[in-house]
Amino acid sequence: MLKGVRDRKVAGTYKRLSPGKDGRIRTVLSPDTASFRMSSSDSLLFESTNLQNMEKKVAKLDPEYKVRDIFIADEGMELVACDFVGAEAFCCAAYSKDWKYLEKLEAGIDTHVELAKFMFETEITPLQRDIAKTIRYASQYAAKVRTITLNLNKEADTTGMYFTEDQVTVLHHKLLQLHPLELWWDTTRRELEKQNGVLWNCFGYRRTFHNPDPDERLKEGLSFYPQSTIAWLMNHALPRVHTALKTQPVDMLLQIHDELLFQSPPEAIPTLVRTVSPFLERRFAIHGRELYIPVEWKRGHNWGHMAKFEHKGM
């Protein structure tokens, strides 16, 4: 049944991605009023669609789900993607004052593998790493054990793993042994109550939360911190990247949440990397702790098959 739902969703995605007469697929980007993230949508003025919800995770489950494969570079060009690495993790670690966790992220340690080993007490598989990652990210925003269990079991038909709430409760407890998330939840809840639903991110951006359900309002407040911070970093970089690339034979095609997608001749890629990386890896501070979010680069002929490449020193 779950596979049938995914099949219908992916089929609908392929259908709305029909290119125009010139073979191009277009979208419209506009600021999201909640977090200032750029959101993708269609337009009444020309043929276009949402390009920010291309199925990525489910593409691992079946070759037919690899929707991004249909986006290919022009002849003699390559697609090049620049993406923040672990942006939500960096921000949540800093906002929750989990400095040990932040230091591990800065050192490049695979914290999902580390968490999975602590949870399962054995050498772990890629699937167990994904499970630990799912539990960590859901828990950052105060998700209940029941919700986490439902999310894990959505892929049970393909992963072959089904979890009970009791099993997830044990794994969730182990996560809380490593990270001070409960203190962050309590602090944010008190701030929402004291400040009449108002929170500020590290750049001074203010948002008021009106949800009458205190649990839902807390989840919205917690997610606001990293999402708005990443949005501000990206929005700060976008106009500067656009201006800097005017004299280069490179097209900035799309912004997808934490990622920028370009089209470039192969020989211009080193210059592209040197130009764009400093704008994205700008330093900023959360709770007085200075940090930056690193970026990684990928390249390839189509969007679905891109390989990471070492960009330091280019």
* Tens digits of pLDDT across the chain (314 residues): 545 556 666 666 656 666 777 777 776 667 766 666 767 666 656 666 666 666 655 555 555 667 778 788 999 999 999 999 999 999 999 999 999 999 999 999 999 999 999 999 988 999 999 999 999 999 999 999 999 999 999 877 777 889 999 999 999 999 999 999 999 999 999 999 999 999 999 999 999 999 999 999 999 999 999 999 999 999 999 999 999 999 999 999 988 888 999 999 999 999 999 999 999 999 999 999 999 999 999 999 998 889 998 776 66
Nearest to 3 by CA among 156, 151, 146: 156
Query: pTM for the full model?
Result: 0.85
CATH 3.30.70.370 domain locations along the chain: 2-86+232-309
- Alpha carbons 156 and 171: distance in angstroms, whole number: 17
Instruction: Look at residue 285 and give its three-state secondary structure.
Output: strand
- Domain 88-228: which CATH number of 3.30.780, 3.40.50, 1.10.3470, 1.10.150: 1.10.150
- 85, HSE (Cβ side, Cα atoms, 13 Å): 17
Secondary structure string (H, E, C) spanning 43-102: CCCCCCCCCCCCCCCHHHCCHHHCHHHHCECCCCCEEEEEEECCHHHHHHHHHCCCHHHH
CATH 1.10.150 domain locations along the chain: 88-228
Instruction: Look at residue 143 and give its three-state secondary structure.
Output: coil
- Alpha carbons 84 and 264: distance in angstroms, whole number: 20
Scan for tokens 């007490």, then name that residue: 121
We find that the CATH architecture of domain 2-86+232-309 is 2-Layer Sandwich (3.30)
Within its chain, how far is the Cα of 228 from the centroid? Answer: 12
Scan for tokens 């990247």, then name that residue: 241
Q: What is the pLDDT of residues 136-187, one digit of tens each?
A: 999 999 999 999 999 999 877 777 889 999 999 999 999 999 999 999 999 9
